[in-house]
Each structure stands twice: as structure tokens, then as C-alpha cells.
Amino acid sequence: MDLFKLNAHGTTVKTEFTAGFTTFLTMMYIIPVNGFILADAGLPMDAVVTATAIITILATLFSGLWSNTPIAMSVGMGLNAYFSYGLVLGMKIPWETALGIVFISGFLFVLLSFTNFRVWIMTSIPLNLRRAISAGIGTFIAFIGLKNMGMIVDHPVTLVTLGDFSNPNVLIGALGLVLAFSFYAYRLKGAFIFSILITSCVAWFFGLSPVPTEIISLPASIAPIAMKLDIMSALTLSLFPVVITFLITDMFDTLGTLTGVGTRANLFQENDKNDKALQKTLEADAIATVGGSLLGVSTTTSFIESAAGVEAGGRTGLTAVFTAMFFVLTLFMLPLFKSIPGNAIYPVLVVVGVLMFTELGKINFEKAGFATGAAAFFIVILMPLTFSITNGIAAGFMIYTIIKLARRKFEDLNVGILLITAISCLVFVLQG
């Protein structure tokens, strides 16, 4: 096991095995959840479940071997919701074109990950705005979860209103939400998986969802979605802001995850150009996104759930290798995943959204100033209201720049901010 330098990292094969299993338990929920989300965009759920499992296995294995870090990867929460509800259902973009957008953003990320662009973007964009983007995506996916559970419904006068809580399916969703919050609050390993299973059992017991007649089967074919991406349709000026949104969001998400996990594992020294572990993990993340789009799934990214494995003692890529091995089991669990009712799945979106939203609490608004506060407000509020991460980011950067210019705070504006602001203007011009 010298490949992983276990002794140098103060760990053992047994510790890495336990850490890998812990990471697997905490993030296994992504397989059925992603299946439900992308199925809403018209992709066959059977194929999506298999493709999600395959890209999770390959990306996590590659990450462990290439970067020797305990980072697991899979289809990212937030951007998968944006893929389905923002692009396909909201903007009426064919899912094949949306996969082309994912491919292009991933390809650009691959090119940039081999440069010092990551350092430039980290130093160019204020940390508070990055936190606001994370919080905005949190409100976006939480809103989607509440909507799909029927807790929030449309209204001809007020646009949205409270759903019908006398509906048994809504009550099942409420139960799932209570369980997910409770289990996570107790830091139970596999909190989301347990909440999904218990909620599903209750739904099966009361006849609200068909009871599964089988648990395991051979993996479904990914032929209906693999290599179906339409790159040429995505190469249009009107979709350029969307490509940039996927690129920037994936980069922020990855850097934020690696910073958080790295703090616990003593990895990834921030802004250190010579940090090979960080560089290689970014490369693995970018390559995984390209690979995922070819298989037929949305943006692949580093998972914050990797922190659970780090807490269990994982310090090297062997943790990721073991995690990938455990995910092989999910290839044969399609009948179980398909039998899970939607309202056992969607509560997970709400909880993940809340966790992302807590990033907003790290902003000292009094110290940050009015420009940051106004930008954060528009980022957070417009993502769910317009069903678009792009619109939220665009409005936030435009407001930030306008206020800084009005107050003549030119020293707070740099090339990175001005570039994103220019792209943000394009968002509204092209939509018009």
C-alpha cells in the first residue's frame, strides 16, 4: 500500500476501510435522489440510476488513485436540480443540449484546472459573494423540494401558497422531513438513507406507494442517455452565460468542499500554488464532469460528505477507493430505488438546501458593507423566485458592481468581478 503512503499519513488499511464505508453510507442517497431529479427532466430513471452509480464509482476511484486524497465524487446536488428544473423544464432546453452545456463547462474546467486560474478566481471573487452563491443554491433546491412534496403550491393571486396537509402524500413528505432533520441533527451516519428507508416503509405500509417485489437486479442499460449529449446546440451565444454559471458554480462548490474537508484532514493549503493534492483533486473533479456528461448525467463534483470519512480517520486515496468499491453494490439495487416514493426523496433536497443556506451566517454584513448585503440578497432571493442560478448570480454581481461604482469604491473592483458583471449583463440582454 505504499502507493497511498499510509504510514506517512498516520493511518492503516483498516482505518481507511472504515472511513470509506462511512463516506459511502453518508452519500449513498445521491443514487436514488439524482434518479428522481433527472427523471423529472425526461431522462429514463433506470438509465440515470445506473449512470449515476457508474460515474460515482469511476470518479471516486480516479480521485483516490490520481490525487491520493479521501475525496469521493458524484453528481452534484444543486446543479442537478438546476439542470432539470432550471434548464430543461424552466428554459425548455432539451436535456441533450443541457448535457452539452455540462460537457462544455467541464471541458473548460479541465483546461483551467491545469493553470493557476483557480487561485485567480479565489482571490478575485470576494469570499462573501461565494458564500451568498452557496446560500442561494440552498434556497433554490429547498424550494424545489418543498414544491415537489406539495408543501408549497402555485396560487393565481399570491403566486405560491401552503399546500394541502390533509393529503396523505404531503404528510409522508412531512414525516420524511422530520426524520431527515432529526437524524442529521444527531449526526447519525447515513442519516438521509435511514430517513428515506423509514419514510418509504411507512408509505408502503399505508398503501401510498407500491411495495417492492424484488430488491436486486442486473444494472439497467445506460444506452438511452449515454453519448446523447448535443454539444453543437449548446455552443450558442444565448447559452454562454449558462455555461459560465455551471463552470463557476462547480468551481466554487469544489473549492468550498475541498477547503472544508481539507481543514479536518490537514490537506489543501489555501491558495498554495504548489499544493499538488489540491491541483490533482481539481483535475479529477473536472475530468469527472466531462465523463459524467458522456454517460448522461449532470455535473459531477467533490462531495462534502467526504468529511464523514475524514472524521472516521480517512487520510489517503485508499478511503476513496474503498468508497468506490462499496458503490458497486448500488448498481444492483435498481428495483429498491424505483420503489421509493418521491416524497421520501424530496425531503433530502430541503435538508441539503438548509445546510448550504447556513453559509450566509458566515457573512458579517455590518463589516462587509451595503454592496455585499444587497448583492447577497438578490443572489439568494432570485434563484428560487426565477428558478435560475444564473439569474441570481447575474443580478448579485451587477448590483455589487453598481453600488461600488456609485460609491466610487474602485479599489474593490477587479478584473474578475468586472468580467463576471459583463457576463451578467449578457444574461438579461440575451433573455430579452
Q: What is the largest CA-CA distance in the chain?
A: 67
Is position 401 within any domain? yes
Compute and round to an integer the Cα radius of gyration of the chain: 21
The series of mean pLDDT values per 10 residues for the chain, 432 residues long, is 81 92 91 94 96 97 93 91 92 95 93 76 78 88 91 92 94 96 89 92 93 90 96 92 86 72 61 66 90 95 85 89 96 92 90 88 91 94 88 90 92 86 80 56
CB atoms within 10 A of CB 185: 10
Is position 198 within any domain? yes
Residue 17, C-alpha cell as written in the block: 476501510
What residues are paired with 73 via a beta bridge? 302
Q: Which pLDDT score is estimated for 262?
A: 66
Q: Which pLDDT score is estimated for 259?
A: 64
Distance of CA 121 to CAs 60, 126, 363, Å?
25, 9, 19
The closest alpha carbon to 387, from 152, 128, 116, belongs to 152
3-state secondary structure of 312: coil
Alpha carbon 424 to chain centroid, angstroms: 22
Angstrom distance (rounded) from CA 130 to CA 116: 19
**What one-letter code names the amino acid at 304?**
I
The residue whose grid cell reads 468506490 is 324
Distance of CA 210 to CAs 42, 150, 339, Å?
22, 20, 7
Is position 224 within any domain? no
Angstrom distance (rounded) from CA 330 to CA 53: 6
Number of helices (H), then strands (E), in the chain: 20, 4
Asked if 300 contacts 71 with a C-beta cutoff of 8 angstroms, the reply is no
Sorted by sequence, the CB contacts under 8 Å of residue 92 that are 6+ apart come out as none
The closest alpha carbon to 215, from 202, 200, 203, 225, belongs to 200
Cα dihedral across residues 170, 172, 178, 184: positive or negative? negative
The residue whose grid cell reads 401510498 is 208
Is position 35 within any domain? yes
**What one-letter code names the amino acid at 382?**
L
Is position 183 within any domain? yes
Residue 23, C-alpha cell as written in the block: 463516506
**What one-letter code names the amino acid at 401?**
T
Residue 2, C-alpha cell as written in the block: 505504499
- Global pTM reads 0.83
Is position 210 within any domain? yes
Residue 282, C-alpha cell as written in the block: 481539481
Is position 225 within any domain? no
Asked if 279 contacts 109 with a C-beta cutoff of 8 angstroms, the reply is no
Q: Which pLDDT score is estimated for 80?
A: 93
Domain of 412? Answer: 2-219+230-431
Q: Which pLDDT score is estimated for 271?
A: 47
Question: How many domains does the structure of the chain reveal?
Answer: 1
